[in-house]
Amino acid sequence: MSKDNLIAFQSSESSASFNDALTELVRKGARQIIAQAVEAELAEFLTQHQSLKDNQGRAAIVRNGYLPERTIMTGIGEVEVQVPKVRDRSGRGIKFNSTLLPPYLKRARSVEEVLPWLYLKGVSTGDFSEALASLLGANAEGLSASTISRLKAKWIEKHQQWQKRSLSGERYVYLWAVQNRTNFGG
Q: pLDDT tens per residue, the chain (186 residues)?
A: 556 555 554 544 444 444 578 878 888 888 888 889 899 999 999 999 888 888 888 888 899 899 999 888 887 778 888 999 999 888 888 888 888 888 888 878 777 777 787 778 788 877 777 777 777 666 665 567 777 788 888 888 988 999 998 888 888 888 888 888 888 776
Class of residue 168 by CB neighbours under 10 A (exposed 0-12, middle 13-18, buried 19+)? exposed
| CB-count burial class (<10 Å; 0-12, 13-18, 19+) for 143 | buried
Are 102 and 95 a contacting pair, CB within 8 Å? Answer: no
Q: What is the pTM of this model?
A: 0.59
3-class state of residue 119 by DSSP: helix
Alpha-carbon distance 94 to 83, whole Å? Answer: 16
Eight-class DSSP state of 69: P
